[in-house]
Amino acid sequence: MRHEQASTPSAEGGDRIFTLPNVITGVRLCLLPVFWWLLFDQEDRLGAALLLLTLGTTDFLDGYIARRFHQISNLGKVLDPVADRVLFFVGVTAIWIDGSVAGWFAAAVLVREVLVAVATIALAALGAARIDVTWFGKAGTFCLMVAFPFFLAGASSVQWASQVTTAAWLIGLPGLGLSWLATALYVPLARRALREGRSAPSTPQVSSPS
């Protein structure tokens, strides 16, 4: 009996570079200087906030297209999480510099981002297995990606600025709590991934927790 080798979505993208998801990720990264220009050169806080909100909330788009249309690629597996971290870090830092958000809040978010980045690199270097992103991490990141543009819009001259600032706090505080809860939950997951990775002969892939 002849056995046909089943093709999997993850294999169909392979080493391709110019896939639609990778293009979308690249465009999102290329728009970061535009965000910076709007905020610091044009002093257009509302325009910068709308752009950053769009870049943040379309985070799911490239991943969805890659899975839905079988365009998962090796480059995309690396580029997508890196782009997300860069967009988030640059956006939060810029808004902090602008003074549109409380310093302690921005610092709490950035410290967490640095810890996650360092831990991800360390685990990969130590040979840890892949760590799946938890619901708490996804929810926390999404809330913060919405909250920071809201803080920026709340510091603009629009009439509804105070309402937007209130919404930013209502979304941002739970997001901050969820993100730190996710960080705590990743500790036992990281230990298990490290044990599994060291016992497995294959090269591990460590995802960047959100």
pLDDT averaged over every residue in the chain: 83
| Secondary structure element (H or E) that encloses residue 63, with its range | helix 59-68
Q: Are 186 and 135 in contact (CB under 8 A)?
A: no
Tell me which residue of 123, 176, 156, 150 sits closest to 57, measured CA to CA. 150
Q: At which residue do the structure tokens 């808004």 appear?
A: 95
- Mean pLDDT, to the nearest integer, of 3-27? 63
Which pLDDT does position 129 carry in this prediction? 77
Supply 142's token pair.
């999404």
Q: How far apart are CA 148 and CA 151, in angstroms?
A: 5
Give the DSSP letter of residue 71. -
To 5 degrees, how large is the angle CA 66–CA 68–CA 69?
70
Nearest CA to 98 among 170, 163, 154, 28? 154
Model confidence, pTM = 0.82
**Cβ pair 118, 194 in contact under 8 A:** no
Query: pLDDT at position 127, please?
Result: 82
Write out pLDDT tens, residues 58-99. Answer: 777 777 777 777 777 776 677 777 788 888 899 999 999 999
d(CA 186, CA 194): 12
Q: What pLDDT is stored for residue 11 in this prediction? A: 44
Q: What is the pLDDT averaged over residues 3-16?
A: 49
pLDDT tens digits for range 158-185 = 999 999 999 999 999 999 999 999 999 9
Over residues 117-169, the pLDDT tens digits come to: 888 888 878 887 777 778 898 899 889 999 999 999 999 999 999 999 999 99
Q: Going by CATH, does the domain composed of 9-199 fall within 1.10.3470?
A: no
Domain boundaries, the chain: 9-199
Assess whether pLDDT exceeds 50 at residue 204: no
